[in-house]
Structure 1
Amino acid sequence: MKVGRHIRGSILAFQFLTRLPMPHTEDFSSADLSRSSLYFPLVGLVLGGMLAAILMLGANLDPWAGAVLALLFWVWVTGGLHLDGLGDLVDALGAAHGDPSRFHSVLKDPHVGSFAAIALTMQLMAKLVFLMLLAREGHGWLLVPLLAWARFGPLLWSAVLPVLRPPGTEGAGLGERFGWEIDRPAIFALAILLLLPVFLAPVLLAVPLACGGWWLFLKYRLGGQTGDCLGAGVEIVESSALVVMVLLIL
């Protein structure tokens, strides 16, 4: 039944990307995760709406209060999922600067290195400051399409980029599982749908451009993607597009 499949897919997407309570799903498989990725932008729309509401409500007290509350909620509701990917990738890139063979081993290492600590601190500081500016200017609603586009990015990147694997290894990571059963015509349709708000607010063009910029980085700097690269991309798109949009609004 198609309706049941859509409901199951959306539930799995919320379960994977958020800490929001969801009904239990049975007989889960990796292919289910791949199919559920089409609902990632829906998750972004919901999270963006919740985040915008918290930001603007808090801003009634003070823009900084709204920014702090929104950032706390942002980190909590996502469980730091994408921040983890950003930290892992930055550590791996830092280690590979002097020895490219270390990239994959450091990427898999769960420990937080100095590169990751610096990157995560800067990422959270940037979000905090520019959330405050967004609240001060009364444009909190821009977070809704921003978070939707940021979660559309992994669909796009996993569909058009090869998976990076350590030499001599087999098996699929998250970066590959997302691409198993992705309906590419559906991705194209989602992109068209997500572009519609740009006609209402051209400043939103910064978000798909940020998605394209991360694709260029993955293609020409790394030559492909992994699950950590996809998660890092969500964070980079969110912060870079947020900065550009606020600068254009001011």
Structure 2
Amino acid sequence: MSFLAALRFLTSIPIPFKREEWDRPLTQQQFARSLVFYPLVGLILGGVLCGLYWIFSRLLPPLLADAMAIGVLAYLTGGLHLDGLIDTFDGLAGGHRSPERRLQIMKTPDVGAMGVVAGVVLLLLEFAALASVPQDHVYLALVLMTVLSRWAMAYAVFNYPYARDTGMGKELKSGSSGWVMPVASIVAAIIVGVTGSWLGIIVMAGTWGLTVMLSAFFKGKFGGLTGDTYGALNEISEFTTLLLVVLFTFNNWL
């Protein structure tokens, strides 16, 4: 149940079969335990992307294959995290606003110029970074970016306060047990260690550092984290993962 909750919440991948018990409402504890499976959902997304990229790279020019991979990832997640990035940057825009005012802006349905610019720039950066990854590391990069970005969200949910009184993030945080985050981290470390060896572990360490800094920044600006900031963290972590892979492979540091 918790795995399906994570899969349904983080992706728009259709589940081809149903059982009656799966349609029952989740308890808060079941929903909170879905954090454990965030890295596994990332692995599923990465696997799907690798399969599709293999097809794209044989039918299309390299740059178009890279662009298709980024577009497919946005589609597979229903644009959920991109929407969070846009709302977060709308909340950050405008100078010295109070945390309460920033939270109000993030809840409005209107999209501001700052949010649109942030979304466009992020997609361009992800595309450029993926296009810069050497071909023999592309599949590894796709797996690392999807696994570590979902793990980063789980880490932020577990370790930082939620800014609002209600919301899905509040339910995730208040219902999670102490073992949830360590298990999620172990799962993520095993995946990146097996697939990426030392490069994977180093990229995971870099993603962790970014998560800590961004979460502290968002906490200072909004008085805590929200679902939108989790989405922003996911998107920025995806780019950072690709950037670190490019950095280490381009400079032959490993």
Q: TM-score, normalised by structure 1?
A: 0.86
Same amino acid, percent of matched pairs: 26
1:213 to 210, 215, 224: 210
Q: What corresponds to 1:38 in structure 2?
A: 36
1:241 Cα deviation after fit: 1.5
Distance 2:181 2:236 in 1: 21
What is the one-letter code of the residue matched to 2:97? D
Tell me, what secondary structure is at the counterpart of 2:23?
A: coil
Stretches of structure 2 lacking an aligned partner (at least 5 in a row): none
Aligned positions of 1:16-27 closer than 5 A: 16-22=9-15, 23-24=17-18, 25-27=22-24
Distance 2:187 2:4 in 1: 21
Distance 1:69 1:125 in 2: 12
Checking the alignment, whether the CA contact within 8 Å between 1:146 and 1:241 is kept in structure 2 is yes
Q: What corresponds to 2:152 in structure 1?
A: 153
Which region of structure 1 is more displaced relative to structure 2, 140-149 or 237-246? 140-149
What is the one-letter code of the residue matched to 2:175? E
Runs of 4+ in 1 over 4 A off after TM superposition: none
Distance 1:226 1:108 in 2: 11
Distance 1:119 1:153 in 2: 20
> Any idea what the Cα deviations from partners look like across 1:83-140, whole Å, max 9, x if unmatched?
0110000010113x23225211111112111001100001111111222222645432
Q: What corresponds to 1:248 in structure 2?
A: 248
1:55 Cα deviation after fit: 2.2
Distance 2:205 2:230 in 1: 15
Q: What corresponds to 2:233 in structure 1?
A: 233
Tell me, what secondary structure is at the counterpart of 2:207?
A: helix
Distance 2:39 2:155 in 1: 11
Stretches of structure 1 lacking an aligned partner (at least 5 in a row): 1-7, 166-170
What is the one-letter code of the residue matched to 2:178? R
- Alpha-carbon distance change, 120 to 221 in structure 1, aligned in 2, over 3 angstroms: closer
- Alpha-carbon distance change, 80 to 30 in structure 1, aligned in 2, over 3 angstroms: farther
Checking the alignment, whether the CA contact within 8 Å between 1:155 and 1:178 is kept in structure 2 is no
Q: What corresponds to 2:113 in structure 1?
A: 114
- Counting matched residue pairs gives 237
Checking the alignment, whether the CA contact within 8 Å between 1:56 and 1:135 is kept in structure 2 is no
Relative CO higher for 1 or 2, CA cutoff 8 Å, sep ≥ 6?
Answer: 2
Which region of structure 1 is more displaced relative to structure 2, 191-200 or 151-160? 191-200
Distance 2:203 2:137 in 1: 18
What is the one-letter code of the residue matched to 1:229? T
1:30 Cα deviation after fit: 5.8
